[in-house]
Structure 1
Amino acid sequence: MQAPQSLTVRSVSAFVIAVSPKTNWIVVELALADGPSGWGEATLAGAEEAVLAEIGHAQTLLAGVAFSGPAEVTGRLRMTHASQARMIVMRAVEQAVLDALARRAGVPLAAFLGGPERQAVPVYANINRGIVDRTPAGFAARAREVVTVEGYKAVKIAPFDGLDWKRCDHASGARLLADGIARIVAVREAVGPGVALLVDCHSRLSPVMARTALRALESVALFWFEEPLAEDAFDDHTGRALRSFANDRGIRIAGGEHLAGMTEARDFLARGTCDAILPDLRWTGLRSGLSILELAACSGVEVSLHNPVGPVLDRISVQMAAALPSFLILERQVRESPLFDEIRGGPQTLADGAIPLEAAPGFGAPPDRAVLERCAAQGFQRRASLAGVAGAGGDA
């Protein structure tokens, strides 16, 4: 019997790419001693130094060591009460190891994960971070561009800038809510009725605010209303009641982007507050993420992926979505920066609003190293907080 190939890590390194005042991408390269490099993404806004320190620590722990398999590699980084930085690096290393092994085997990552179940993955364009003009007209113009120029059939916005139900008085809360509703209506008018419109609330709303918005948007025909309520702020009954209120208007409630493991996912699904779940592979990892999403589908919840970051995790997420038995739609960060397409080697062509699955090994062509090195040499913007940065998500 032929002995299995070894899994010896030669090095773990990182590239930090300054994308915008809102974003730095952290791309991880894991090189095998006897094969190609694999790639992962460890983007964590506001914690870049901590992530880079953990990547340096991973290099110390993994370089030169022969492992029996991917689980042993990530297991060497596992620790009780791991920080967010340690967790996200552990997940990026898992991505990179599996990508490297798939490249060495000459098969797409989706096949390495047990798929593919489909040859194209439906996607939506998250255009929020790329919108500088935060007026309704600015939102509408960007949405119209990605639909007419790039062929997207679904668009997501986060329109409730500056709103936080816990900190706003009644008058300012009502004004900011109305501003967000105006942006949503403007986007619907710009893209027409045939484009799916998704709204991300970033847990900014109270139950009363959420119902007010849903009533005002009945004619807009939203595809989903994402994370209207903070998951830990209200009881299960309140969340289920809001879901029922939305469903009566033909709207899904989506959530679950912060889930990290099976126990959390089991409890989240048991609450019954969401129609669709979109965990983030930076927190779940690939193998655990597959289990979480299959559990959700078996529980009658539609499955998606939270994917608002860079081109590496984007391509990994496409492969993951293709490997799942059931999948609704995949998020893509669109038009925040031309670096997205430069790093991936060119723009992605859509076919009827979906990304065709690549047949190349791993997740496809590796990132353009010359672009990564050029960007890394330029340094990155250190930002401890996104407070006050409209369109960044955590701007309240």
Structure 2
Amino acid sequence: MKITDAKVFVGGPGKNYVTLKIMTDQGGYGLGDATLNNRETLPAAYLRDYLVPNLIGMDPRNSEDIWQFFYRGAYFRRGPIAMAAFGAIDMALWDIKGKLANMPLYQLFGGKSRDSAMVYAHATGTDLEDLMASITRYVDQGYEAVRVQCGIPGMPGSGYAVPEEKGAKRDYITDFSGVRPKVEIWDSERYMRFMPDALMAIRERFGPDLKILHDVHHRLTPREAAAFAKAVEPARLFWLEDPTPAEDQGALRLLRQHSTVPVAIGEVFNSIWDCQKLIEEELIDFIRVAVTYVGGITHAKRIVELAALHHVRTGFHGAPSHSPICMAAQAHLNVWAPNFGIQEYLVLGTDECDALFPSDHRMERGRFHVSEAPGLGVDFDESQAERYSFQPGSHPVARLEDGTMWNY
């Protein structure tokens, strides 16, 4: 069996999904996701210009050797662009492998450890009252876990993942439109004064069973993060996400010395080497990598298995920048992984997205149920893809009130 061709598509409903389709000489094909949020044309070009020409003629069943060929064969390794491109190739090869075996991918990993995977929704509000209404909406839908973000009194601008208008959007997603980024204003002191009491109010309103998650989004210094984690302990969070910038991994040692709050980190990591020490030293409780960004299923599975040795559970990134192909790959890992924790899930579900990526995967009452179709269980409609083209955009940036650039 040989790879005969591969195509790269960029575009989608509301997102610039980067979709790879690898074809074989036996008529089969596999799909992968290389979407790098707001930098989508870069992994697409890397695939088209450098990687796909090398794929032609390779045996798609040798996914391990192909992964090593691209990773170890490169002089400059890792980084989000390269790993997203490798991730798309690896997903597509696993998809082909599952179709050849006529099995869903989780069977190739060792079968199911659970029937479905718990996911968490994103609740947000301009103020605490608005946030409570958003949480109630998800609880009424059957969600067992909700990430909560809230506007901070006295802080100009919306802050991280908070809408500008009260009650405007219950499924709020940060606006990434436009090449020039929007500016969010940040004030750590105001945040640290307000948020512990807000989280406690949420716990008191919704009781002991709701799993409450909160994302700091790298905004605090190590000392501030340690103080904040200690202050929010009474709210009994399911996890505190990204309390400090991911580059300074030693900062989490200070947090661990002062608090037992579970810590989740990793959505900006690109390899096992980025999180090896955090896992081995047990400085985190959940690893937040995404299958696309860490080079595909082959490498993500290694991270999951390392984490299992050190009591670290999975919490795969699930922002809408990941196409249904990446989310399907993570769904198969989720039902297999013995150390599964939770899956982030922002609603992709538009009719347009379902038409572009048809599948039988389904979400019901806060649980993701994986399809029994062979391979990834997601298809790609090229005729639908013709409706979309690349639309440039950027993440917002964060500044302090005096104009100083801060961590986004």
Shorter-normalised TM-score: what interval?
A: 0.7 to 0.9
C-alpha distance in 1, partners of 2:134/2:361?
A: 18
Matched, 1:200 2:195: no
Offset of residue 194 of structure 1: 2.8
Assess if the C-alpha contact under 8 Å between 1:240 and 1:272 holds in 2: no
Offset of residue 222 of structure 1: 1.2
| Match for residue 304 of structure 2 among 293, 300, 303 | 293
| Match for residue 56 of structure 2 among 63, 73, 77 | 63
Assess if the C-alpha contact under 8 Å between 2:144 and 2:211 holds in 1: yes
Assess if the C-alpha contact under 8 Å between 2:147 and 2:215 holds in 1: yes
- What TM-score, normalized by structure 1, do the two folds share? 0.79
Q: Could you say which residue in structure 2 is the equivalent of 1:13? A: 8
| Match for residue 31 of structure 1 among 18, 23, 27 | 23
Offset of residue 91 of structure 1: 1.0
Deviations 1:297-350 (A, max 9, x none): 112222332232332211110101222232111221236966555544489654
Assess if the C-alpha contact under 8 Å between 2:297 and 2:329 holds in 1: no
Q: Could you say which residue in structure 1 is the equivalent of 2:344? A: 331
Q: Could you say which residue in structure 1 is the equivalent of 2:143? A: 152
Offset of residue 134 of structure 1: 3.8
Assess if the C-alpha contact under 8 Å between 1:136 and 1:182 holds in 2: no
C-alpha distance in 1, partners of 2:352/2:148?
A: 21
Offset of residue 224 of structure 1: 0.5
Offset of residue 196 of structure 1: 0.9
| Match for residue 245 of structure 1 among 239, 258, 278 | 258
Matched, 1:307 2:318: yes
Offset of residue 369 of structure 1: 4.4
Assess if the C-alpha contact under 8 Å between 1:135 and 1:183 holds in 2: no
Q: Could you say which residue in structure 1 is the equivalent of 2:283? A: 273
Assess if the C-alpha contact under 8 Å between 1:94 and 1:286 holds in 2: yes
Offset of residue 71 of structure 1: 2.8
Offset of residue 112 of structure 1: 2.2
Assess if the C-alpha contact under 8 Å between 1:39 and 1:366 holds in 2: yes
Q: Summarize the Cα distance change of 1:297–1:244 in structure 2 as closer, same or farther, 3 Å threshold.
A: farther
Aligned amino acid, residue 242 of structure 1: L
More helix by share: 1
Offset of residue 24 of structure 1: 3.2
C-alpha distance in 2, partners of 1:335/1:190?
A: 29
Offset of residue 262 of structure 1: 3.6
Offset of residue 66 of structure 1: 4.5
Q: Could you say which residue in structure 2 is the equivalent of 1:93? A: 89
C-alpha distance in 2, partners of 1:230/1:274?
A: 14
Offset of residue 189 of structure 1: 6.5
Identity %: 23
Q: Could you say which residue in structure 2 is the equivalent of 1:166? A: none
Counterpart secondary structure, 1:281: coil
Aligned amino acid, residue 50 of structure 1: L
Correspondences of 1:339-354 after superposition (within 5 Å) = 339-345=352-358, 349-350=362-363, 353-354=366-367
Q: Summarize the Cα distance change of 1:42–1:218 in structure 2 as closer, same or farther, 3 Å threshold.
A: same
Q: Summarize the Cα distance change of 1:180–1:344 in structure 2 as closer, same or farther, 3 Å threshold.
A: farther
Matched, 1:142 2:134: yes
Deviations 1:52-99 (A, max 9, x none): 211212333323554561234444544221453222111111001111
Assess if the C-alpha contact under 8 Å between 1:91 and 1:281 holds in 2: yes
Assess if the C-alpha contact under 8 Å between 1:147 and 1:153 holds in 2: yes
Q: Could you say which residue in structure 2 is the equivalent of 1:230? A: 245
Alignment size in residue pairs: 364
Offset of residue 15 of structure 1: 3.3
Assess if the C-alpha contact under 8 Å between 1:9 and 1:66 holds in 2: no
Counterpart secondary structure, 2:16: strand
Aligned amino acid, residue 253 of structure 2: R
| Match for residue 110 of structure 1 among 80, 93, 106 | 106
Q: Summarize the Cα distance change of 1:349–1:13 in structure 2 as closer, same or farther, 3 Å threshold.
A: closer
Counterpart secondary structure, 2:37: coil
Assess if the C-alpha contact under 8 Å between 1:31 and 1:37 holds in 2: yes
C-alpha distance in 2, partners of 1:187/1:343?
A: 38
Offset of residue 225 of structure 1: 0.4
Assess if the C-alpha contact under 8 Å between 1:162 and 1:395 holds in 2: no
Q: Name whichever of 209-218 and 41-50 sits farther off.
A: 209-218
C-alpha distance in 2, partners of 1:346/1:288?
A: 25
Assess if the C-alpha contact under 8 Å between 2:362 and 2:371 holds in 1: no
Q: Summarize the Cα distance change of 1:206–1:239 in structure 2 as closer, same or farther, 3 Å threshold.
A: same
Counterpart secondary structure, 1:30: strand
C-alpha distance in 1, partners of 2:187/2:37?
A: 28
Aligned amino acid, residue 225 of structure 1: L
Aligned amino acid, residue 104 of structure 1: L
Offset of residue 361 of structure 1: 0.8
C-alpha distance in 1, partners of 2:93/2:326?
A: 14
- What TM-score, normalized by structure 2, do the two folds share? 0.77
C-alpha distance in 1, partners of 2:292/2:312?
A: 21
Q: Summarize the Cα distance change of 1:356–1:214 in structure 2 as closer, same or farther, 3 Å threshold.
A: same
Aligned amino acid, residue 253 of structure 1: V
Deviations 1:91-117 (A, max 9, x none): 111001111221232110111233233
C-alpha distance in 2, partners of 1:365/1:88?
A: 19
**Structure 1: stretches of 5+ with no match in the other structure:** 1-5, 164-170
Offset of residue 122 of structure 1: 1.9
Q: Summarize the Cα distance change of 1:95–1:323 in structure 2 as closer, same or farther, 3 Å threshold.
A: same
